[in-house]
C-alpha cells in the first residue's frame, strides 16, 4: 500500500496564458506525482465543467483559485492515508466529493488534476514508467475482456497541419486538416515525415501569397484560404513536395468540429464554401465527395454533437470508407459512447481526459469503445501545457492514434518527445 501523505494544488498557466490547475501528490514512501489540467476552446456541451472564478479582477474572470481551494480544502483531507495505487478507489472518493453530473460543484479541473497526479505518484512509488502503471490499471478495468487486454504500444500520431475554426480566428469552417504517416516503419521515421510535410506546406503557402509562418493555437498554420477544400489540396501538395505518396505514405484526417457551425434549425452553415447552408444529409454528401477526392482516412465530428440521426446515416454511408471519430459527440463519456454503439453511430472515439474528469472514467470510456471494435484516438486540448500524461496514457491503453496538435510549440513537442523516450524503452 502506497499511502498518500500530501495533496497540494496551485494555479499555473497554460499555452494560451490562461490559468489552470496543477496538483502535486506525495506518498509516504517518497513517491511524488504532478499533473497539469488542459483546457479546450471548442468544447462539447456534455463535458465536465471547468470551474473558473468569474471574478473579473483577475485574468478576466478566468482564474482557477476556487478549483485550487477545492482541491486543498475539500478533496485533500479525504485522500490522506488512502492507497495511491488504487486508482479506482481514489476516483470513487473524488466522485463522492462531487456527485453532480458534470462535476460542477468542485470542478472537473479540480478532480482531474488530483486523479492524474495520483497515477503519477503511484507510478513513482512503484518505480515504473507511467505508461506501464496505466497499462496495469487499464488491464484491471471492469468489463474489459482478458482477450482485449492490450500490451503497451505506441500510437500513430494524427498531426495538425492547417488550423481553422475556433483555433485560428475562424479563417476556415473546418477546425483541423491533419496528416498521419501511415506508411512509416516506426514512430521516429513517421515524426521526420510529419516535420518534412509541415515545412513544405509552410513554403507552399508563402509562395502562394498566404500566411505560412504564423500558427494557430495548436501550432498548425492559420492561413485565410478561400475554402476548406483548398486547405486539403495544400496538404496533399505539401506531401508530394516532401517526396511522400499521398494515400500510401501519408493520409489525411479532418476535424470538422461541426458542432461549432451547426445552426439552431440543425442545418450546417459553411461560410468559406460560398456561405452555403446544408442539411445534415447534404453535409454527409459533401464529406463523401471529399473522401472520394482525397486520401482521407479519418473524419472527426463530421456532424454536430446532438445530430444522432445524421451521424447514423453518415456512419452507414461512410463508415466502411473512413474512421468516423466522435469528439463533442461522445465527450469521453461511457454512457454517450454506449448510446452511440447501440445506434450504430461512428466507429472511433476521441479520448480527452478533461472531458470526463477522472482517469478511471476515462478507462471505462476506452474499454466500452474497444469492446465494440471502435478505434481509440487519445487527444490533447487546444489549451495545453508541458504536462505529458496523455503520451503515457495513449501508450498504456495501446490507443490507435494520438492527436496532440502540430509539430511546433513546446506544449505539443513535450508529448511527441515523451513518445520518443517511450519508443526507446519499448524496443
Question: Could you give the CA distance from residue 409 to residue 306 in angstroms, rounded to a whole number?
Answer: 33
**What cell does 371 get?**
469492446
Q: Is 218 a catalytic residue?
A: yes
Chain residues in the site for ligand PGA (CB under 6 A): 40-43, 175, 255, 257, 327, 379, 381-382
* Residue 239 binding: pick among Zn ion, ligand PGA, none (C-beta 5-8 Å cut-off by kind): none
Question: Could you give the CA distance from residue 149 to residue 371 in angstroms, rounded to a whole number?
Answer: 10
Q: Is 386 a catalytic residue?
A: no
Binding-site size, Zn ion (CB under 5 A): 2
Q: Which is nearer to ligand PGA, 124 or 257 (CB)?
A: 257
Residue 131: CA count within 13 A, CB half-sphere: 24
Query: Rounded to the nearest whole angstrom, what is the least distance from the CB of residue 410 to ligand PGA in the complex?
Result: 17
Question: Could you give the CA distance from residue 78 to residue 118 in angstroms, rounded to a whole number?
Answer: 13
Exposed/middle/buried for 289, CB within 10 Å: 0-12, 13-18, 19+? exposed
Catalytic residue among 22, 47, 50, 218: 218
Told to check if 255 binds Zn ion by CB under 5 A, we report: yes
Residue from 91, 98, 273, 327 in contact with Zn ion (CB under 5 A): 327
Query: Rounded to the nearest whole angstrom, what is the least distance from the CB of residue 379 to ligand PGA in the complex?
Result: 5
* Residue 141 binding: pick among Zn ion, ligand PGA, none (C-beta 5-8 Å cut-off by kind): none
Place of cell 452511440: 340
Q: Which is nearer to ligand PGA, 255 or 387 (CB)?
A: 255
Beta bridge partners of 157: 402
* Residue 379 binding: pick among ligand PGA, Zn ion, none (C-beta 5-8 Å cut-off by kind): ligand PGA
Told to check if 217 binds Zn ion by CB under 5 A, we report: no
Catalytic residue among 22, 47, 352, 384: 352
Residue, CB closest to ligand PGA? 40
Q: Which is nearer to Zn ion, 23 or 37 (CB)?
A: 37
* Residue 415 binding: pick among Zn ion, ligand PGA, none (C-beta 5-8 Å cut-off by kind): none
Q: Which is nearer to ligand PGA, 40 or 310 (CB)?
A: 40
As annotated, the active-site residues are 218, 352
Which positions lie near Zn ion, rule CB under 5 A?
Answer: 255, 327
Amino acid at each position: 500500500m502506497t499511502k498518500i501523505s500530501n495533496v497540494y494544488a496551485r494555479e499555473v498557466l497554460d499555452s494560451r496564458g490562461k490559468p489552470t490547475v496543477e496538483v502535486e501528490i506525495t506518498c509516504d514512501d517518497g513517491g511524488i506525482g504532478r499533473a497539469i489540467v488542459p483546457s479546450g476552446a471548442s468544447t462539447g456541451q456534455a463535458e465536465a465543467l471547468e470551474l473558473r472564478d468569474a471574478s473579473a479582477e483577475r485574468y478576466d474572470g478566468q482564474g482557477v483559485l476556487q478549483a485550487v481551494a477545492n482541491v486543498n480544502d475539500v478533496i485533500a483531507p479525504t485522500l490522506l492515508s488512502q492507497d495511491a495505487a488504487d486508482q479506482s478507489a481514489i476516483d470513487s472518493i473524488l466522485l463522492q466529493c462531487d456527485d453532480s453530473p458534470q462535476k460542477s460543484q468542485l470542478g472537473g479541473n479540480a478532480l482531474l488534476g488530483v486523479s492524474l497526479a495520483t497515477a503519477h505518484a503511484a507510478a513513482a512509488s512503484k518505480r515504473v514508467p507511467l505508461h506501464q502503471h496505466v497499462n496495469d490499471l487499464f488491464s484491471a478495468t471492469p468489463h474489459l475482456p482478458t482477450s482485449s487486454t492490450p500490451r503497451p504500444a505506441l500510437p500513430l500520431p494524427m498531426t495538425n497541419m492547417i488550423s481553422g475554426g475556433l483555433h485560428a480566428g475562424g479563417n476556415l469552417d473546418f477546425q483541423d486538416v491533419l496528416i498521419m504517416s501511415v506508411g512509416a516503419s516506426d514512430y521516429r521515421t513517421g515524426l521526420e515525415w510529419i516535420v518534412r510535410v509541415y515545412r513544405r506546406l509552410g513554403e507552399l503557402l508563402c509562395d502562394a501569397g498566404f500566411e505560412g509562418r504564423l500558427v494557430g493555437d495548436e501550432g498548425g498554420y492559420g492561413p485565410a484560404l478561400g475554402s476548406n477544400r483548398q486547405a486539403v489540396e495544400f496538404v496533399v501538395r505539401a506531401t508530394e513536395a516532401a517526396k511522400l505518396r499521398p494515400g500510401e505514405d501519408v493520409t489525411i484526417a479532418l476535424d470538422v468540429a461541426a458542432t461549432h457551425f451547426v445552426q439552431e434549425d440543425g442545418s450546417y452553415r459553411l461560410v468559406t464554401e460560398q456561405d452555403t447552408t446544408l442539411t445534415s444529409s447534404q453535409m454527409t454528401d459533401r464529406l463523401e465527395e471529399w473522401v472520394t477526392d482525397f486520401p482521407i482516412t479519418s473524419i472527426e465530428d463530421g456532424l454536430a454533437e446532438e445530430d444522432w440521426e445524421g451521424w447514423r446515416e453518415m456512419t452507414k454511408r461512410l463508415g466502411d470508407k473512413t474512421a468516423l471519430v466522435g469528439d463533442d459527440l461522445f465527450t469521453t463519456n461511457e454512457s454517450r459512447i454506449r448510446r452511440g454503439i447501440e445506434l450504430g453511430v461512428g466507429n472511433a472515439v476521441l479520448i480527452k481526459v478533461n472531458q470526463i474528469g477522472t482517469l478511471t472514467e476515462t478507462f471505462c470510456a476506452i474499454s466500452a469503445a474497444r469492446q465494440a471494435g471502435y478505434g481509440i484516438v487519445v487527444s490533447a486540448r487546444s489549451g495545453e501545457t508541458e504536462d505529458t500524461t496523455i503520451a503515457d496514457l495513449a501508450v498504456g491503453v495501446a490507443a490507435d492514434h494520438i492527436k496532440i496538435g502540430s509539430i511546433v510549440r513546446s506544449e505539443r513537442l513535450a508529448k511527441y518527445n515523451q513518445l520518443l523516450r517511450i519508443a526507446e524503452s519499448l524496443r
